[in-house]
């Protein structure tokens, strides 16, 4: 049992002012793996005060020095990769090999991209060559509250901390209480990198407690939140009282549109993408829309691919699917699988209950439904588990209508060998991102959505800009 009861505030590990203990459950075993403290309003206030006091000095620190500290952070991050991987595997159930490669790798990827983008960006520049005495100055928003989820911990922490640090913001990180151990390792990295006192602070807590206090705090200038749409709405309402900037990266219900001329690996690729991280990704391609001419073949392939996915403990090495994060998520997913059956979808792989040979742990069978219609619950709600819905369409126009018929708008996917069709689809799909034919977004590409998937963009220069204000100066005199 790991005990992590302290918070990192103003450059020191300090005992909570007022807190309650919280057990962290290992989803592979259902056994407690750690005890942490959940902070109070007083703990959040102490962290905000430290960040506010550090803000003037950090904003005044030259950009080159801020970048250099992030470079040092990246160096230490790489050295501590195994510690980060183990902490994510034990607390949120990422299979250890996947934690080492994808979960840890996501963090280093984003830090590298921030460093590269920042070195090219003009934080202080003329408005235009015609107006040399008008300048545009980018400066930090101020004190930023960073509220991160459990499903891709290092991905989200580095996307927020790296951008905020380079922008000149001071910050308070509140990680998910479901997966807090990696965040505490990350705080050790920030300390070892030598960031000035108060620039980075960490307070553990839940959304109702510390999350609510931070999002409504009068001395917090910005909230950057990743999580559920429900929580994002609550944060927006709370933050509105102080008119602070709010960045939201929320849920998704991505459509993966597979045309009849898609490449032969498109269906398999879509199934495996859906099951990655046990389906716990906001940008998961959870609705596979297949053109009628290849529909039966696609259903057959999807069932075969899903049936070959193995399920095992997150502690076991190898290529397999681990558990979902907790009992609440497991029960929600089971209920939606049953809902799919009850509403008439055709179950072609997986189904309710634990996988074979398991009697404990929050494991879910890799599940695929065919003959799903747009009105079904599984076609509309974000399941956040390894459940794929396959739907049939006839024409491009019908595919567009089905894909856009959702309250979410994070990522959509297109599979076709017709370049003109692919480009048409990219322009009309209502989502912040469109990925085509299995090509992932390139380094520095923005991540974010529209509609109920949130606002703002993360990664690269877009992420840095999100933590900055734009100041217009007229009558500038060259020194």
Catalytic residues: 249, 282
C-alpha dist (Å) from residue 341 to 271, 337, 355, 387 = 19, 7, 17, 12
**75 DSSP assignment:** H
Rounded distance between C-alpha atoms, residue 89 and residue 243, angstroms: 38
Tokens at 442, concatenated: 């390139």
Determine phi and psi for 340, rounding to 5 degrees. -60, -40
**Other Cβ atoms closer than 10 A to 91:** 28
Q: Given its phi and psi angles, is residue 389 left (phi above 0), alpha (psi -120 to 50 degrees) or beta?
A: beta
**Other Cβ atoms closer than 10 A to 189:** 22
CB distance 130 to 156 below 8 Å? no
Rounded to the nearest 10 degrees, how much is the dihedral formed by the CA atoms of 240, 244, 249, 251? Answer: -10
Rounded distance between C-alpha atoms, residue 346 and residue 60, angstroms: 61
User: Please, where are the H alpha helices in 357-416?
Assistant: 377-380, 396-404
Rounded distance between C-alpha atoms, residue 351 and residue 353, angstroms: 7
3-class secondary-structure state, position 98 = helix
**Other Cβ atoms closer than 10 A to 43:** 27
Beta strands in 238-308 (DSSP E): 245-249, 255-258, 287-291
C-alpha dist (Å) from residue 287 to 253, 255, 262, 301, 466 = 7, 5, 16, 15, 30
C-alpha dist (Å) from residue 385 to 82, 276, 317 = 26, 10, 21
Tokens at 347, concatenated: 């179950």
**368 DSSP assignment:** E
How many residues are there in the chain?
479
**329 DSSP assignment:** H
Rounded distance between C-alpha atoms, residue 402 and residue 374, angstroms: 7
């Amino acid at each position: 049992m790991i005990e992590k009861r302290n918070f990192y505030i103003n450059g020191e590990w300090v005992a909570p002012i007022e807190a309650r203990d919280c057990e962290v459950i290992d989803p592979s075993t259902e056994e407690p793996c750690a005890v942490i403290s959940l902070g109070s309003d007083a703990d959040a206030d102490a962290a905000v005060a430290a960040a506010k006091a550090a803000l003037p000095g950090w904003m005044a620190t030259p950009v080159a020095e801020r970048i250099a500290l992030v470079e040092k952070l990246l160096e230490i991050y790489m050295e501590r990769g195994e510690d980060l991987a183990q902490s994510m595997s034990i607390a949120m159930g990422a299979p250890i090999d996947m934690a080492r490669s994808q979960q840890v790798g996501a963090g280093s990827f984003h830090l590298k991209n921030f460093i590269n983008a920042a070195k090219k960006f003009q934080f202080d520049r003329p408005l235009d060559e015609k107006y040399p005495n008008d300048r545009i100055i980018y400066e930090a928003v101020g004190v930023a509250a960073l509220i991160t989820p459990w499903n891709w911990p290092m991905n989200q922490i580095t996307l927020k901390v790296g951008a905020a640090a380079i922008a000149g913001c001071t910050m308070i990180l509140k990680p998910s209480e479901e997966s807090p151990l990696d965040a505490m390792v990350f705080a050790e990295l920030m300390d070892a990198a030598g960031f000035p006192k108060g620039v980075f602070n960490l307070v553990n807590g839940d959304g109702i407690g510390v999350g609510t206090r931070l999002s409504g705090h009068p001395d917090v200038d910005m909230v950057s939140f990743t999580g559920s749409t429900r929580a994002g709405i609550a944060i927006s309402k709370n933050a509105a009282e102080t008119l602070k900037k709010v960045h939201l990266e929320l849920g998704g219900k991505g459509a993966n549109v597979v045309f009849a001329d898609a490449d032969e690996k498109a269906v398999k690729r879509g199934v495996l993408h859906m099951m990655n991280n046990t389906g716990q990704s906001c940008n998961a391609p959870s609705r596979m829309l297949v053109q009628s001419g290849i529909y039966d073949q696609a259903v057959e392939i999807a069932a075969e691919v899903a049936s070959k996915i193995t399920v095992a403990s997150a502690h076991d090495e190898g290529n397999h699917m681990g558990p979902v994060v907790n009992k609440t998520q497991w029960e929600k997913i089971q209920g939606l699988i049953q809902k799919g059956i009850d509403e008439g979808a055709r179950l072609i792989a997986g189904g309710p209950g634990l996988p074979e040979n398991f009697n404990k742990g929050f494991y879910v069978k890799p599940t695929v439904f065919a003959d799903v219609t747009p009105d079904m619950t599984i076609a509309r709600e974000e399941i956040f588990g390894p459940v794929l819905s396959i739907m049939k369409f006839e024409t491009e126009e019908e595919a567009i209508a089905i894909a856009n018929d959702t309250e979410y708008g994070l990522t959509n996917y297109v599979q076709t060998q017709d370049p003109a069709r692919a480009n048409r689809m990219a322009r009309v799909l209502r989502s912040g991102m469109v990925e085509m034919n299995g090509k992932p977004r390139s380094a520095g590409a923005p991540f974010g959505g529209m509609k109920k998937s949130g606002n703002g963009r993360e990664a690269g220069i877009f992420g840095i800009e999100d933590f900055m204000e734009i100041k217009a100066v007229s009558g500038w005199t060259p020194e």
